[in-house]
Amino acid sequence: MLSIAKVRRGGERYYLDAVAGGAEDHRRPGQEPDGAWLGRASGSLGLRGSVGPADLAAVLAGADPATGEALNPAQDRVRVAGFDLVFAAPKSVSLCYALGDASAADQVRLAHESAVAAATGYLERVAVTARRGHGDLRHNVAVEGVVAAAFLHRASRAPDPHLHTHVLVANLVADGDGRWSAFDARGLYAHARTAGYLYQAHLRHELSRCLGVEWAPVRKGMADIVGIDRSVIRAFSRRRTEIEARLAEEGRSGPKAARVAQLATRRAKDLDASFESMVGEWRARATAAGLGGAQLAGAMRGMQRDRPADHQIPTADWMRSIVGPQGLTAVASTFSRRDVIRACCSALPDGAAVATVETLADAVVGSGFVQPASWGAHEQRWTTPEVVATERALVESALRRCEAGVGVAEPVVLESALSDRPHLPSVQSAAIREVSVSSTGVIVATGARWAGAIDALDAARDAWQSSGARVLAGAPCADQAAELEAVTGIETTTLVDLVAQLDGPASARLADGVLVVHDAGRVPADTVRSVLDGAERAGAKVILLGEVRQLRAVEGGAFRRLGESLGSIALDAPRSTAWVEPTTGRGWVDVVERGVDGAGVVVGSSAPVLRQRLVADWWAERRAGREPAMVAAGGRELDALNAAARSELVDAGQLGESMTVGHREMAVGDRALFSRGGRNAGVATGTRATVVNVDSERSVLDLRTEGGRTLSISAATAVEMGLRHAYATTPREARRARPDRALILGDGRWACGSDGNDRCYVVGGVGPGGRHTDDVAVDAPGSSLSQLGRRLEGLEHRLARAVAPDPTAALAHLDQEQARTDDRLVAARSARSVAANRLEDLMATTSWTGRRAARQEAADVRTELVYRESEVRRWEARHERLAERRCELETQAASRAAGLSAQRPDLASPETLVQAVGRRQWVLARAAEVSPPGYLVAELGPRPSAPADRTTWRQAALAVESYRERWEVSDQHDALGGRPASFEQRLQRDSAARQLDGAQRRLCPERAIERTPDPSLGLEPASAAGLGGAG
C-alpha cells in the first residue's frame, strides 16, 4: 500500500547510503539500486536518470541543482523538506521477486516500477496544488508536477523479502507562471489511500499480463498471489510480528498505535549485507515453510492462463454494484471520486492500469446511477437516487411521529434524577428535560463523550427507567456497545442485533420504551430506516445521538437530513462550564471482588456516584502508599476525576501555591501531563511532570519531568502544549505509564494495569424492581447474599416470637362463614313462619268435611313446624359461636397491632433487606457481564450480542452468581460446585442448575449438560425460576 512520512533537511542520507553505487541488477553484488528521478517538474530542472546526492540535497533545500540559487524565496519558512511516499508490494509478490528466477524477478520489478510511476502520476494530477493569495483571497492553483526521486528497496529491516519503493517528493512546486513554492500537502494526505489502491491495481494488472498469476480476493485494495500459502507469508513477515507483539504488550490497537510501535521496534538497517547474500537463507526458509521451487513455479504459470484485457467496458450491473447498497452506499450516504476509484480497484480482481481505473470511475459518476449531492471539502460528492428516496422516507416517517407520545418520563421522576446530579449545568439540564418529556417519536441529539453527553444520557436513562420505560441502545460495533453500557447503564447491543430484535416478536416488549442510536452520523440510511420503522411498529421513541460535526458534514447522511428537518438538541455541556463534582451523592454503589488485592467490578446507580466512589478508592490507595491511575475516555470525565482528586489533595494540605493556566488551577505539587508535545521546548506528547514552582507575577511554571529534567514554561505555552492534571488519564496514557493499579471508569476491556489487578466502575442502571430509592452513602460497604440471607432469616424468627400471629386471614374466612350462617338463619326462620301460618289456617276450618281433612293435614304441618324450630335454634347457636370467635380474633388483632407498634424499627428491616437482596443479585449479574468469570464462560460462552440471548445469558449468570455467593461456593472450575448436604442449599442449587441448563440449550446446545435434580426434593425436571431471594 502507500504510507507517507515527512522528511526534514538532511533526511536524504538514509536513502543515499542504502544504494549500491550504480548496481541495477539485483543478481550482482551490492546493496540497493540507485535512485531514479520521477515527476514532470524534475525534467524542467534537468533532473533525469540516476539520482545524484548533490542534486537531491539541493531540491530538498529548495534550490536549483544546476546553479544552487534558491527557487523558493520563502524557503526559510518551510519546515518540511519533502515527503517520503512508500509504495509496498504484497508479501507474495516480494517472495516471487526474491525467490523466482531472473526472468520472473525482472518482470516483477518492472511491474512494480510501472505501478509506482503510474500512482505517482495520479498524485501529480489531482493531489498536489499550491496555495496563493492571503486571507479570504487565499486559494489553490494547479502546478506543473512534482520533483521526486524513487529509491527501490528489496528487503525489510527484519530482514525479509520486501519489495518497496521510497518516492521522495521535494516540497517544491512551480505554478503555471513559473513561481516556485512549497505545496499544499493536505491533498497529498487526502489522496494517499486512493493512490495506494491504484498502485495495487496497476501492479496486479501488470503481473497478470506478463506472468499470468491468479489473485486471491481483494481486501482493502490489496491481494496476494494464489498458490502462496498464508503460513508462508506469515513466516516472512517478521517485522509485522514484532509490531503486533509490541501492540499486544502495550495493549494498544489502531493505525496510530501501529505507527508508534513500528518506530519503537525499528532497528538500524544492515547496509553491509547485500540482497544476494540473503537469498540462500530465504530459499531454505521458504522450502521449510512449504514453498519450494515447484510450488513457486506453479504460482507463476505464465501463458497457461488467459491474460486479462487492457480495457474493460463497465456494464450497468457492474456500476450498480459499485454505488449500490452492497457497495459505497452501504457505509455512507455520499461519496467522492476518490471513493469510486477505490471501489473500482477493489472490484477488479486482476487489476487495471491507472488510466483505465480513472476512466471507469468517471463512467460511474457520469452514469444515471448517481446524482450530485453537494460539495464537500474542495471536492464534488455524489449519491444515488435510492439513498435520496430513503432519506426522504426517513424524514416523512419522523415528521409523522411528531406527536407519538411515547417514551415520556414522569416529570416528578425526572426532577428527582436531576436533583441527584446537581453538577449538571442549567443548559444541559434543560436539554435533558426536553429529551425526556418530549412526546416526539424521533429526536436528533448531538453530543460527544468528551463534552459531557454521557452524563446527560445517564440522567435521561434514570428518568426513563424509573418511569417504567425500557431503554435500549444500539452502537455500530460491539466495543462501542460495551463501553456505552458501562458508562450509562443502558442495555446496549450492536445495531445489527437491534434491528433483528425490532423485526422479531421481542419488539413487543419495547412498547412505550426508548431506543438510543449511538454515533448516528456514521450509520447508513438503510439501517436508520430499519430502526425507525421497527420503533414505529413497537411504539417506541428513538434518540439519534451523534456529534455536532456529523450533523454539519456532508457525509452525515440520514443523521444530517433528519437534523435539518427536525432540529437538534445539544446534550453537551457548554465549553466554558467549569466542572463542579458534588461532594455528596444520592444513590448506591456495590462491589464484586474478583481475585485478590481489591481487583473487581464496582457497580453504581449513576455516573456521579460512581465517580465519587472511584476517587475515594484512589485516595485510599494513595494513602496506602500505592500509585493508582484513574482511567476514563471522555474529556469531561477526566476533568471531573482530576477536580475531585485535587480537592482531596487540597484538603490534605499536599498542594502549595497555585496559579491559573487556561481554565485550570496548577499548584505546587500537582501532577501534570503534556497532551500535545512542544517542539521548541523539546517535550514529547504524553510527558508527565510535577509542578515544583509557580511565579504568578510572570505567569511562569517550573516543572520536573519523570526523567528528572526541569522545565520553565509560560502559562500561554502550557496551554498550547495541552498541559493538564494527570491524576486521571486516558486508556492509552495509562498503558504507557504502567501504574500500580488502574481504576477504570467504564467497561475495562483495555487491561490498563501492570499485573491484572484493575478495578472497573460501571453504571448498573435500574434492575428488577424499578427505581432504587434507598440512599446509600458512597463509601458504605455492600453485604454479600450470604450475610443478607442470615440477617433476613434471623429477623423473621425474632419477629415471629415477639408478635402474635396475623388473624387477617381468619377474620376474612369468618366473614364468609357469618354471611352463610345469616343467610341460612333467615331462610330457616322464613320456613318456620310459613309452617306456623299454614297450621293456623287449618285450625280455623269450620265445615264438617273440611275439618276432618284439616285435622289430618295439620298433623303433618305440626311435624314440619317442629323441624323448622330445631333448624332455627341450630343456626342461632352457630351465629352466637361465630360472634364469640370474632371477639377472640379482634382481640388477637389488637394485640398484634400493639406488638407491631412496639417492634416498629425491626419491622421495616425485612423490606429493606429484601430490596438489598434484589439489588445485590442485579449487581452480581452486571459484574458478570463486565468481567465474566471463567466458570461462567465455560458453561455459557462469552456474553452474546443479540438482546434476547443476552437476557438469557444474564438470567443464568444471575442465578449462578447468586447461588455461589449465598452459599459461599469457592470452586473456580465448576459453576455450581459440588452437591451440598443442606436440603435448602440443594433446593436452590437445583433451581440454578435448571436455569443454567435452559440457557445452555439456547445459547450453546453443544455444551448443554442435563443436571438431574435431587430425587429427594420431589422437583420436576422442568425449568424453574431463578433464586429470587436469599433463602
Question: pLDDT band for position 690 (50/70/90)?
Answer: very high
pLDDT (0 to 100) of residue 1022: 37
250 shares its domain with 102: yes
Give the chain's end-to-end CA distance (angstroms, integer): 64
DSSP 67: T
pLDDT value at 532 more than 80: yes
Percentage of the chain with pLDDT > 90?
Answer: 23
- What is the C-alpha to C-alpha distance for residues 351 and 85, in angstroms, rounded to an integer? 21
Q: Which residues make Cβ contacts (< 8 Å) with residue 884, sequence separation at least 6?
A: none
> Is 576 within the bounds of a domain?
no
Stated as kind and residue range, the H or E segment containing 591 is strand 589-593
121 shares its domain with 155: yes
Tell me, what amino acid is at 1003?
A: L
Q: In the predicted model, what is the mean pLDDT of residues 406-432? A: 89
User: Which residues of 608-748 form beta strands (DSSP E)?
Assistant: 628-631, 658-661, 664-667, 671-674, 688-695, 700-705, 710-714, 723-725, 728-729, 741-745
624 shares its domain with 750: yes
> Is 958 within the bounds of a domain?
yes
- What is the C-alpha to C-alpha distance for residues 112 and 115, in angstroms, rounded to an integer? 5
DSSP 679: T
> Average model confidence (pLDDT) for the chain?
81
Q: Is 521 left (phi over 0), alpha (psi -120 to 50) or beta?
A: alpha
392 shares its domain with 375: no
Among 373-382, 536-545, 650-659, 703-712, the range scoring the smallest mean pLDDT is: 373-382
pLDDT (0 to 100) of residue 334: 85
Q: In the predicted model, what is the mean pLDDT of residues 713-741? A: 83
> Is 340 within the bounds of a domain?
yes
Boundary-marking domain end, from 273, 304, 335 = 304
Tell me, what amino acid is at 785?
A: L
Percentage of the chain with pLDDT > 70?
Answer: 81
Tell me, what amino acid is at 752?
A: C
Per residue in 475-528, pLDDT (tens digit) is 988 878 888 888 888 888 889 889 988 888 878 888 889 999 998 888 888 888
Domain that holds residue 958: 909-1017
Answer whether 807's CB lies under 8 Å from 889's CB. Answer: yes
256 shares its domain with 320: no
pLDDT (0 to 100) of residue 1031: 36
Following DSSP, what letter does each residue of 508-572 receive, concatenated? Answer: GGGTT-EEEEETGGGS-HHHHHHHHHHHHHHT-EEEEEE-HHHHHSGGGTHHHHHHHHH--EE-S
DSSP 936: H
Sign of torsion over alpha carbons 174, 175, 180, 184: negative
370 shares its domain with 397: no
841 shares its domain with 895: yes
Tell me whether residue 920 is exposed, middle or buried, using C-beta atoms within 10 angstroms of its C-beta: 0 to 12, 13 to 18, 19 or more: buried
330 shares its domain with 400: no
Residue spans of alpha helices (H) in 539-665: 548-552, 558-566, 607-623, 635-651
Boundary-marking domain end, from 304, 326, 354 = 304
Q: Which residues make Cβ contacts (< 8 Å) with residue 805, sequence separation at least 6?
A: 892, 896
Cell 491559573 identifies what position?
660
Answer whether 457's CB lies under 8 Å from 503's CB. Answer: no
Q: Distances from the Cα of 345 to the Cαs of 221, 397, 406, 529, in angstroms?
A: 7, 37, 47, 30
Question: β-strand 180-181 against 173-174: which pairing, if any?
Answer: antiparallel
pLDDT (0 to 100) of residue 1026: 37
**Residue 593 φ/ψ, nearest 5 degrees:** -75, 145
- What is the C-alpha to C-alpha distance for residues 824 and 642, in angstroms, rounded to an integer? 81
User: Residue 816 corresponds to which cell in the numbers above?
Assistant: 364468609
721 shares its domain with 693: yes
Nearest CA to 507 out of 497, 522, 518, 492 is that of: 497
DSSP 367: S
Boundary-marking domain end, from 251, 277, 304 = 304
> Is 488 within the bounds of a domain?
yes
- The CATH code of the domain that includes 508 is 3.40.50.300
| 3-class secondary-structure state, position 151 | strand
Answer whether 329's CB lies under 8 Å from 383's CB. Answer: yes
CB atoms closer than 10 angstroms to residue 826 = 11
Question: β-strand 741-745 against 728-729: which pairing, if any?
Answer: unpaired
Q: Which residues make Cβ contacts (< 8 Å) with residue 764, sequence separation at least 6?
A: 489, 590, 603, 604, 605, 922, 923, 926
User: Which residues of 746-818 form beta strands (DSSP E)?
Assistant: 759-763
pLDDT (0 to 100) of residue 598: 57
> Is 930 within the bounds of a domain?
yes
Among 11-20, 615-624, 643-652, 688-697, the range scoring the smallest mean pLDDT is: 11-20
Residue 279's Cβ-side half-sphere holds a number of Cα atoms within 13 Å equal to 18
876 shares its domain with 928: no
Among 304-308, 443-447, 636-640, 878-882, the range scoring the smallest mean pLDDT is: 304-308
Answer whether 84's CB lies under 8 Å from 4's CB. Answer: yes
Per residue in 387-401, pLDDT (tens digit) is 888 888 888 989 999
Q: Distances from the Cα of 60 to the Cαs of 83, 147, 182, 627, 662, in angstroms?
A: 10, 9, 11, 48, 39
Q: In the predicted model, what is the mean pLDDT of residues 127-140? A: 86
Q: Which residues make Cβ contacts (< 8 Å) with residue 333, sequence separation at least 6?
A: 373, 383, 387, 391, 524, 525, 555, 556, 557, 558
pLDDT value at 346 more than 90: yes
> Is 594 within the bounds of a domain?
yes
> Is 552 within the bounds of a domain?
yes
741 shares its domain with 870: no
pLDDT (0 to 100) of residue 1023: 34
Stated as kind and residue range, the H or E segment containing 830 is helix 808-843
Q: Who wins on pLDDT, 96 or 303?
A: 96
457 shares its domain with 558: yes
- What is the C-alpha to C-alpha distance for residues 692 and 667, in angstroms, rounded to an integer? 8
- How many structural domains does the chain have? 6
> Is 729 within the bounds of a domain?
yes
Question: pLDDT band for position 768 (50/70/90)?
Answer: very low
